[in-house]
Amino acid sequence: MNNIEKLLNSLMEQAELFSKENGEFAPFGTYIRANGNMTYIGAYSETTDSNEMYDLLIQGVREDLKDENI
């Protein structure tokens, strides 16, 4: 299984778990580091709408991308 397949499988598993546990889920994602380890990221707030949570998630990803091991 290549990295893209691993990444997609991981995302699908997360979405399925969140859906089963909560009936919904906030924005989340996963990325693969240069060493092959996956890093799970997400945003959650009971008072923030999904667009704002998405923006926070993207902001976090941009910060992580400064790390050249991704």
58 token code pair: 């993207």
Please give the pLDDT value at position 68.
Answer: 66
54 C-beta neighbours (distance < 10 Å), count: 14
Percentage of residues in the chain having pLDDT higher than 70: 96
- Residue 40's DSSP bridge partners are 30
Residue 51 lies in a domain: yes
Please give the pLDDT value at position 55.
Answer: 87
Global pTM reads: 0.62
Whether residue 38 has pLDDT greater than 80? yes
Q: What is the domain count for the chain? A: 1
User: Please, are residues 14 and 28 in contact by the beta-carbon 8 Å criterion?
Assistant: yes
43 C-beta neighbours (distance < 10 Å), count: 19
Length of the chain: 70
Residue 29 lies in a domain: yes
Residue 70 lies in a domain: no
Residue 15 lies in a domain: yes
Nearest to 34 by CA among 3, 6, 59: 3
69 pLDDT band (50/70/90 cuts)? low
